[in-house]
Amino acid sequence: MSTPRARIIGTGSFLPEKRMTNDELAKIVDTSEEWISSRTGILERRIAAEGEVTSDLAAAAGLKALAAAGCAPEDLDLIICATSTPDLVFPATATIVQRKIGAQKAKAPAFDIQAVCTGFVYALGIADQFVRSGMSKKVLVIGAETFSRIVDWEDRTTCILFGDGAGAVILDSAPGGSTQGILSTHMHADGSHVELLRVTGGVSHGRPEGFDWRHDALGFVDMQGNEVFKQAVKAMGSVAEEALAANGLTINDVHWFIPHQANRRILQATAKRINLPEDRVVTTVDHHGNTSAASVPLALDEAVRDGRIQPNHLVLLDAFGGGFTWAAALIRW
Ligand code: ACO
């Protein structure tokens, strides 16, 4: 008997209400609308309200995905949340989401995945394995972030890039013999470049002198943008090719390419590297900025809801982030 394939039966997303434009950023740091839009393609991003935490965004996106899938919260038998900006050090944001969406009755496992901007594609790959093994049937996979809480608002090289948001999908096992669903997932990491992209503090490094646990952040996003740019294009290009080759497909078979939305120039350079016309790249970086683990499911949900993605389309998800980590998922919709 062949193993069941996982398929996505519903998508959802959520963005905080507050928009921040480039002109507003230019009042905070030494930058301009022109520099940000021409170097990154970002026009605006959303910023979580005071007291609005990652699990709030994640739960709202999760509920929309459940509604789209026609499932009740108690139908879920696994919740995975990809985030680098959890509400708390512990418990996992996924468990807080479980309570917020009213899924706790099922007592299903819930845990977080941390692979920075690659987090959602990693989480999808893990969920796919749970469904294929028969361990889980209905899985909620979320990517959710409040990066506005970990950027240094005095550092113009990073604070202009990021935004807050959440995206989610519901996985179910596809009927036997179905050609639709997740065809394969491919995940990689190379820990030799930690210094190029990281948050400068963390729990086990302890607290610097004068640190006020109640008020001070644990650290800020620190990035060598130029170097990350080059590595991102190379890694996203190669994992896209790996996913296609594993399924005996070519780039001409791909209807929609949904890369991590880091920077419009990275999206363009990656598409060029894999010979994909730009009109098949789903782009949301202009209105979302870089939402890290939320960027791929946010873009996916947008393309599903506006009708671009249709049954039997071939959809290629691709992401790159701190670690470095990178991953792809090839899906027959
Ligand atoms: N406004 C005005 N000038 C700026 C700004 C700004 N916001 N930021 C940098 N500059 C200046 C720099 O100081 C530099 O000035 P100098 O030449 O006088 O030294 C000049 O602009 C050029 O800087 P670069 O860093 O070379 O600019 P670049 O074209 O590389 O763009 C950017 C920078 C947008 C950060 C780009 O490198 C990038 O997008 N990198 C990738 C980011 C990414 O992919 N992250 C993905 C993962 S994120 C994650 O995992 C959390």
Whether domain 6-173 has CATH 3.40.50.300: the reply is: no
Distance CA(16)–CA(35), nearest Å, equals 25
Q: What are the respective helix, strand and coil percentages of the chain, to the nearest 5?
A: 35, 25, 40
Distance, in Å, from the CA atom of 291 to the CA atom of 15, rounded to the nearest integer, reads 10
Cα 320 to ligand 1 centroid, rounded to whole Å: 17
* Annotated catalytic residue 260: yes
> Across all residues in the chain, what is the average pLDDT?
96
pLDDT tens-digit series, residues 4-22? 899 999 999 999 999 999 9
Kindly report the CATH number that applies to the domain delimited by 181-332: 3.40.47.10
Q: Are β-strands 325-332 and 197-199 bridged in parallel, bridged antiparallel, or unpaired?
A: unpaired
* Catalytic position from the list 81, 260, 263, 288: 260
> Please, are residues 304 and 8 in contact by the beta-carbon 8 Å criterion?
no
pLDDT class of 186 with cuts at 50, 70, 90: very high
Atom of ligand 1 at shortest distance to CA of 232?
44
What is the CB < 6 Å shell around ligand 1?
A: 31, 35-36, 39-40, 116-117, 156-157, 160, 197, 225-226, 228-229, 232, 262-263, 266, 290, 292, 321-322
Say how far apart CA 264 and CA 164 lie, in whole Å: 18
Q: Is the pLDDT of residue 112 over 90?
A: yes
In angstroms, what CA-CA distances link 259 with 96, 98, 280, 300, 322? 28, 28, 11, 10, 15
Average pLDDT on 54-74 reads: 98
pLDDT tens by residue, 151-168: 999 999 999 999 999 999
**pLDDT for position 210:** 78
Backbone torsions φ then ψ of 96, nearest 5 degrees: -70, -40
Domain parsing of the chain, residue ranges: 6-173, 181-332
Q: How confident is the model at residue 2 (pLDDT cuts 50, 70, 90)?
A: low
Of 159, 186, 288, 290, the catalytic one is 290
Looking at the CA of residue 228, tell me the nearest atom of ligand 1.
Answer: 41
Q: How many helices (H) and strands (E) does the chain have?
A: 9, 13
Summarised one tens digit per residue, pLDDT across range 115-127 is 999 999 999 999 9
pLDDT value at position 52?
98
* Residue entry with tokens 């998800």: 317
Q: Which DSSP letter does residue 162 get? A: B
Neighbours of 20 (CB within 10 A): 19
pLDDT value for 72: 98
Query: Which whole number is the average pLDDT over 44-64?
Result: 98
The confidence score (pLDDT) of residue 219 equals: 86
Measured CA to CA, the distance from residue 114 to residue 200 in angstroms comes to: 16
At residue 311, φ and ψ (nearest 5 deg) are -50, 140
pLDDT of residue 217: 72
Quick check: is 71 catalytic? no
81 is catalytic: no
